[in-house]
Every structure is written in structure tokens, then in C-alpha cells.
Amino acid sequence: MTKICCIGAGYVGGPTMAMIAKKCPDVQVTVVDINASRIAAWQTDDLPIYEPGLDEVVKEALGRNLFFSTEVDQAIIDADIVFVSVNTPTKTFGEGAGFASDLQYWELCARRIKEVSTTDKIIVEKSTLPVRTAEAMERVLHSGDNPVHFEVLSNPEFLAEGTAIADLENPDRVLIGGHETPSGQKALQTLVDIYATWIPRERILTANVWSAELSKLTANAFLAQRVSSINAISALCEATEADVGEVAHSIGTDSRIGSRFLKASIGFGGSCFKKDILNLVYLCESYGLQEPADYWRQVVIMNEYQETRFVTNMLHNMFNTIAGKRIAIFGFAFKADTGDTRESPAIKVCRKLVGEHAKVVVSDPKAIENAKLEMPDLLDQIDFEKDPYAAAEGAHAVAILTDWKEYKELDYQRIYDSMAKPAFIFDGRNMLDHQALFEIGFEVYSIGKGLKTHLK
């Protein structure tokens, strides 16, 4: 029986391993983490992450061929294949601070694997890593006189949060990078065979390790660039009375451009986009490629502009003062269908509103706990209220920051009646029926359309 160990039971490791276990009943999958409460939670009905459909997948395999454990060493010793799926945040210190990936967790894992292994293993990079990390890892793994052979593969994860289960079940593609040596190709084939259990072979792409590593960064940079591109146009739309929704629709029907990832918003968030682009910028710079570095850096600068612009618009439209005004934030997660708040634009928006002395009330169906963790210094200045109606009561403005579908279905007449007047709605996700809101009496601001006002 093939035995897999996955180090890191987070947003990537947990769902990915649960899917492999579900689809391959004859493979034993053990997910380990140093975070004991996370490991405990994976074995309850209250999983540590919210992801639609994940509960059923875990339930089906848990205890059969899917195990969660804090016994990291034992799981490594037993495994034929070790996936490394630990966090690789942006470095906050030293060389490359603010840009480069912090590889300390990854390297600790490599050292641990080297230390305890007594048999040959395939090591799979699942975490997003800078190009040529595999080379450094191989040096760590093979240092000293260890007779054990490790073959490093890169198998970047393309799942998006909120749709992780569908993405894992039916991916556009799976990418596996391996060395062009006989042992590299043999390892690559072993992993291809696992995925081929449920994914058509033609969707399993193979490449060299460096291409696979770079493809992950490039995919995220291209996706983020589309969001920044349409957001750049949204500012121009507001200045010219063009409608960003109409522009996005028109260009999206060009099959060369395509319709997805053209939704203007308060900006992209999530654990990947910003981190991966900064990582790409750092890589370009470290190879002396200043213009490519500047080109990609602009995608992040544009995103920060969009977040800031949203708050500035709130302030200007609300008569240049929001001090003492209650503002209800609808949605704190970085996107719908997740409780994840990493790099959520809501963090910056809330901080700036508090900076203007507004009374901020945060509402979200799944992300209140994480929202508190993002703003530990502001807990005495921000209220948290799960019920959006209660959050909006007495507020001067509602700001929609996450595209939760429940926000489409609220009774906005009821919300309007309970608010201070004039009542503003700032739709940071362009998801509501703006004409209907305007007819209720709201002052309605939306991205790339500007303010519809009753006040002249």
C-alpha cells in the first residue's frame, strides 16, 4: 500500500489530501501539523477551515485511509511520498523583507525529513515557492552522508478557496514538475498515477521542476493582473461616466480575452496573489531584471490604490467627515464562501475608517473570528455583529466588501428604514441591484460607476 504523508494541515494540505484519500482508497494518507488544535479540529464535525463540500469528503475517508496526526516524525518515516504544504509567507525581516518568501518552515521540514528518514522517498513541493527552491531543498536533503535518496517534485496547487472541492475533483489541469533523470521521471510517473485515478491523463501536465515552480507564480500573477487591469479601468469609468460592468462585458466576449476575472472590486485579497507577485518581483530583481520586476510590481500598487480609493470615495461622498458615524461592513472574508481573511481588502478599509474615527461594525457569515485576529489592536474600537440587520441599525453607511450571495437577498427596505439619513451604500463588489436601492432612497456608490445621488 502506498503511503503518503502531508506536512501542513492548512487550506491547501487539508482539502488536497482529503480528495486524494477519497479517490484512492488503497493509498494511506496521513496529514500532520505542529498545530495540535488544528489536527484535533480536522477530526471533528467542526473543521478548522470553511470550504463548501469539504465535510463530506473528509467524512468519507476519515479513519479509513485518511488520518490526521501531530506525530510528524513517524508519518515521515512511514511514507513513500511526502507532500510539503506548509506556509511560505512573505519575509518580514532581513534580505528581501516585504518581497521574498520566508522559507524557514519549508527548510525546517526538509531538515526533519532528512533527519528521520531511513528509506528512499519522493518529496513533493505543494507550497508555492520561488523558482529553484527544489535545488536548495535537494542540497539540504542530501547533505552529509545520508544513504537515503530523495527525489523532489514540484506539484503546485491551483485550487481557489471557496471552490476547492470542485477544483480538486475536476481541475483544468494538474501540473507536476520532475527532473529529467531516470529517477526523476520514475518519481514523476508515481505521482501521475495517483492523480490519474480520477483525472483524465491529458489534463495531467508534466514539466521540468523549474517550469512547474515558475508556472504557479505566473498563473497567479496573470490572474491578479486581470483584476488590477479592470480595477484601473474602473477609476477611469468613474471619471468618464462609462460603466465598468458594460466595459468588462464587452471586452470579455472577445474570446481572446475571455470573461472571467474581470469583476471590478475593492481589490484582490487572499494568501496567494500579493505574496506570489512580490515573490516574482524579487526573483526578477535577483536576476538583474529591473523592468520585468517593475512591470509586475505595478499590479500590487494598483491593488493598493483601489483599496485606498474606495475609502477616499466613502469619505468624500459622506461630506468629508465620517468621525463618529456608524459604518456597517458587510463581509470581511477576502472572497465569498470562505472564512479566510488573509490579505483581505477589508483589513485596510477597516483600518482607514477607524483612522477617520468612524464607528466600524463588522459583519460576516463565516469570518468574524478571523477578522478579530487580523485586528487585535482595534478590538476596543470595532464592533463585531454577525447579523447584518443589527450591524446596519443606526448606521450612516453600509459597505459591501465581500461578495457573499446572502447580501443579494437581504431586505434592503428594512435596512434603509433602520439607518441614519441620508443612508449610503458603497458596493465594493458591484453585486447589488443599484437602481432598486436608489429607488428605496439610498445614496448608492459602486465601483466603476460612481455615486447615484438624490442630493443635488
- Nearest CA-CA partner of 141 in 151, 131, 154: 151
Peptide bond into 345 cis (omega under 30): no
Site string for ligand ADP, 226-265 (x = CB under 6 A): ----------------------------------------
Site string for ligand ADP, 59-78 (x = CB under 6 A): -------------x------
- Among residues 6, 109, 237, 272, the one annotated as catalytic is 272
Phi, psi of 10 (to 5 degrees): -100, -150
4, burial (CB in 10 Å: exposed 0-12, middle 13-18, buried 19+): buried
Candidate residues 4, 13, 396, 398; the one interacting with ligand ADP per rule CB under 6 A:
13
158 binds, among ligand ADP, ligand UDX, none (CB under 5 to 8 A by kind): ligand UDX
Q: Does 334 bind ligand UDX (CB under 6 A)?
A: yes
- DSSP-derived letter for residue 259 is S
Task: Determine the interface stretch with ligand ADP among 2-10, 114-122, 163-171, 443-451 (rule: CB under 6 A).
Answer: 2-10
Cα dihedral: 58, 62, 65, 71 (round 10): 110
- Tell me the three state secondary structure of residue 367: coil
Measure the CA–CA gap between 274 and 280, rounded to whole angstroms.
10
Task: Determine the interface stretch with ligand UDX among 104-112, 145-153, 186-194, 266-274 (rule: CB under 6 A).
Answer: 266-274
Return the CA Rg of the chain.
24
Termini Cα distance of the chain = 74
282, burial (CB in 10 Å: exposed 0-12, middle 13-18, buried 19+): buried
- Nearest CA-CA partner of 75 in 121, 108, 42, 41: 121
Task: Determine the interface stretch with ligand ADP among 30-38, 251-259, 308-316, 412-420 (rule: CB under 6 A).
Answer: 30-38
CB of 261 to ligand UDX, least distance (A): 4
Q: How many CA atoms lie within 13 A of 376 on its CB side?
A: 1
Task: Determine the interface stretch with ligand UDX among 29-37, 75-83, 269-277, 382-390 (rule: CB under 6 A).
Answer: 269-277
Candidate residues 10, 130, 178, 270; the one interacting with ligand UDX per rule CB under 6 A:
270
Partners of 438 in the β-ladder: none
Strand 450-452 and strand 443-446: the pairing is: antiparallel
Cell digits for 100?
A: 521574498
Task: Determine the interface stretch with ligand ADP among 84-92, 132-140, 185-193, 358-366 (rule: CB under 6 A).
Answer: 84-92
Cell 483581505 locates to: 344
Candidate residues 220, 225, 370, 430; the one interacting with ligand UDX per rule CB under 6 A:
220
Cell 449610503 locates to: 424
270 binds, among ligand ADP, ligand UDX, none (CB under 5 to 8 A by kind): ligand UDX
Measure the CA–CA gap between 183 and 188, rounded to whole angstroms.
9
124 binds, among ligand UDX, ligand ADP, none (CB under 5 to 8 A by kind): none
- Tell me if 368 sits within 8 A of 340, measured CB to CB: no
Active site residue 350: no
Q: Does 7 bind ligand ADP (CB under 6 A)?
A: yes
CB of 12 to ligand ADP, least distance (A): 3
277 binds, among ligand UDX, ligand ADP, none (CB under 5 to 8 A by kind): none
Candidate residues 140, 148, 160, 390; the one interacting with ligand UDX per rule CB under 6 A:
160
Q: Which residues bind ligand ADP (CB under 6 A)?
A: 7-13, 32-35, 38, 72, 85-87, 105, 108-109, 127, 271
Q: Which residues bind ligand UDX (CB under 6 A)?
A: 157-161, 220, 223, 227, 261-263, 265, 268-270, 272-273, 334-335
* Residues that are catalytic: 272
